[in-house]
A and B are shown apart, each in its own frame.
Chain A
């Protein structure tokens, strides 16, 4: 994999926005306790983030930083309106499930800060591809979290009862979300360090520190 490709795909493993940068973790911790919630969050996050960042990329870069941040937040707040209207039409349950985290997704760090620091420095084509993989990284974490927490907290998968001996009800609570995400974050770092070590070994490069 060359550098250019690895930068584009970084959003999935190397720079996963949840596990690496700890962005957008509040909805994952509180709402990511069932697969249905995860699906609702994925729909909201994907549509709001992709549209907002893409539209925001047309904002002139010469504007002062503080004003740009406000403009990005306003754009995502405007994008939120049709996304929410569509959700109330097609997935009415999703709004009640996510609650106040629905509007909060619109002011997530990826839209407001990370886009300015990283994405808008790229050419639009590469930015769109990177954004796609950042979003995919979030979706993967959300699905894994929703699946495991639902299975072990409620003994169900997507609402269907599964034959499981032990359930840990605390896993559905916010404190369970904190602890689960912490453990997942540690495991992710281990995997990432191993993956990059293998990659460097193949290239005969130097070791990558685990930061």
Chain B
């Protein structure tokens, strides 16, 4: 029962299905199951570490300079981007060549940046949320939400791209309608 409750909570808080954040990235990565899951994993890493960084940025940034928040978040994600690429390069050149494209598409997108802004928004409305643990947990939740949406899309990917779907609707349009129907189901859970 706890698992079902957690699963429903994860669905209801899913940033793709409820706020369409990261949908473009999901579609870019959707051309193969392996791509999709690897991208989802890398995005989870970015959302978790990005959220931890965002916590310190939010604590230190005075409210009157809130216009600078985007610049700070961008710099933060930029630093993480360089760290991940460098770490991968020094660990294994082969892995670097194979995986760098996932890091490229996972760094600057609405899934990651949207997560940071959503968490900031939540913290602004509820001061009890303003702690490192909540930020990291929310980042992890957003990442898991992306993985879940990826799995949901992967399950129907072949059918949505099959020749049985009219040519004009094959691929992206069918995927959008499919995500819309899933999103509608999630909407009823909220």
Contacts and interface: CB of A to CB of B under 8 A. Distances in A.
B176 interface: yes
B157 to A, nearest CB: 15
B162 interface: no
Contacts of B184: 170, 173, 175, 179
Sorted nearest first, the 5 A-B pairs with minimum C-beta distance are A178-B180, A182-B176, A179-B180, A182-B177, A175-B183
A26 B114 contact: yes
Contacts of A99: 121
A70 B82 contact: yes
B23 A185 contact: no
Interface string B80-111: 01100100000000000000000011011110
B183 A178 contact: yes
Contacts, number: 147
A36 B165 CA distance: 35
Interface string B59-93: 00000000111110111011001100100000000
B69 A186 contact: no
B113 interface: yes
Interface of A: 22-26, 29-30, 65-67, 69-70, 73-74, 77-78, 80-81, 84-85, 99-100, 103-104, 106-107, 109, 112-113, 170, 173-183, 185-187, 189-190, 193, 210
A178 B24 CA distance: 12
B180 A185 contact: no
A103 B70 contact: yes
B173 A183 contact: yes
Nearest to A80: B70
A100 B70 contact: no
B21 A70 contact: no
Contact of B176 (A23, A24, A85, A178): A178
